[in-house]
Structure 1
């Protein structure tokens, strides 16, 4: 009795991928909260990219004669801080910092987590060693682990990104490992092995693409954690340093003026809240949209 395996042409695979992307977008766009989140994220990205063109002020330039102007003051739509710096300008440039740090941290965390998770899931002999290392990282509460890393490396936004990326590795590694363990037992993986395909080719071209759904969801929701963590670390003085217009640092600088100029803390707080909310609801929407059992009707 012989067994035959059908080989898909690149054109067939491309059509399947296109259909999958279209169906996923249909499911995602049916989720109203996810659509709201996408709009908020799009606005944040546009703000970050067009910052030099949508505001004429410098985020670090002080104008002490215009300090603590209220919201909707002439020439300062969101007022000014205690040094006379335009709050709207600092919010816009703060979006740049938050997104760049979060994207860097999540990307580095994914690289480390995917590599460790793939190796642990595919090679049984490496599984115990890698997962014990992951368990060691899990032994530390996330924010404390990030604070420990920054204490060793020093206070800067680059070190914040590194700390958050290391914090992201264990969760990502477990997610990827679980997917690899189930995928590697599939018939088409066995077929590739019997045809003499190398382990690297099997992992990169056949297992990883089929494990992308949970990775994408993790990355989206991790963006929210990264932005919130960046703000928290900067608020504690471990991230952005004055006069850098980072949202958490802005809250820390404005807290002494809470009663006289509440907009100095409320406005960056709202910016953090909306961005974290947006990435969380988009992540939830993607999780549902990437579920093949969801009904398209």
Structure 2
């Protein structure tokens, strides 16, 4: 009888992750100056998006043809105006809302699909082959072309852009989660949970999934950069935000006709995209190195 009690309590006694492990990860991350810079930029972007009604100086869609194509540092328009007299700063500020919102929705939807497929494929051998062949099928399409195909079927809108980018994100996420599940499910505490009759759902949700959080967080952070860049690219092609919506990609598309006379119409939103993508990429790299220091070269 004592042996049975010991086996029953073993899953509870074994903790897959120590409580202070995430604290150590944060400390390693904060020692990475480039990752901290990325984090600061992201915080500023989020603050700008949340405070857009306060910090924007003009209505982003209001036209004033008498003040069209004003250069940067003009009175009342410190980033100038576009060919319709709309304030560029205000459009950049409100454009951050769209870029971050579409990116977050796309990444969350992609994680829901990818994590689910990765968990099922990694845990059940019978489903693994079917799920991985589906993932390979998605991988066979270039990402941007797959997104364009989905938008062509669903129609042109920012909602459909988020859906298209999320579907594009599923296969990468599924493979990452599957790889983690394959290694975690062979651990002793998982075997102990099975031996005491724990259900597969409980094991996957309560004991395997929490130990996949680290690679999932890294993937989500770096995928945000891809989602924001893809949103801008699709809007530039006319498949995302439609005029007069203030979106960075569409601002570049509309400003390219005035590249020589008013280069700020293209350069300013281009810098906004560059800084945001840079920030998420370096933060993702920093998180990866903080979670697994052995990956540093």
TM interval, shorter chain, is: over 0.9
Give the structure 1 partner of residue 169 of structure 2: 168
Structure 1 stretch displaced more, 53-62 or 106-115:
53-62
Structure 1 position 24, deviation (Å)? 1.0
Structure 1 position 21, deviation (Å)? 2.2
Q: Provide the alpha-carbon RMSD of the alignment.
A: 1.9
C-alpha distance after superposition, 1:67-110 (max 9, x if no partner):
00000000001000000000000000000000000000000000
Change (3 A) 1:15 1:207: closer
Give the structure 1 partner of residue 105 of structure 2: 104
Give the structure 1 partner of residue 10 of structure 2: 6
Change (3 A) 1:202 1:7: closer
Distance 1:50 1:200 in 2: 42
Distance 1:202 1:90 in 2: 48
Distance 2:203 2:64 in 1: 61
Contact 2:17–2:211 (CA under 8 A) maintained in structure 1: no
Is residue 163 of structure 2 the alignment partner of residue 159 of structure 1? no
Structure 1 position 294, deviation (Å)? 8.2
What is the count of residue pairs matched by the alignment? 292
Change (3 A) 1:7 1:190: closer
Structure 1 position 286, deviation (Å)? 0.3
Give the structure 2 partner of residue 126 of structure 1: 127
Give the structure 2 partner of residue 16 of structure 1: 18
Distance 1:195 1:16 in 2: 23
Distance 2:125 2:11 in 1: 28
Structure 1 position 6, deviation (Å)? 3.4
TM-score under structure 1 length normalisation: 0.95
Q: Which runs of 5+ in 1 are unaligned?
A: none
Give the structure 1 partner of residue 258 of structure 2: 257
Contact 2:68–2:85 (CA under 8 A) maintained in structure 1: yes
SS of the equivalent of 2:262 reads coil
Distance 1:64 1:25 in 2: 50
Distance 2:157 2:74 in 1: 33
Distance 2:126 2:46 in 1: 43
Change (3 A) 1:107 1:76: same
Change (3 A) 1:142 1:95: same
Change (3 A) 1:283 1:257: same
Q: Which runs of 5+ in 2 are unaligned?
A: none
SS of the equivalent of 2:244 reads coil
Distance 2:164 2:17 in 1: 40
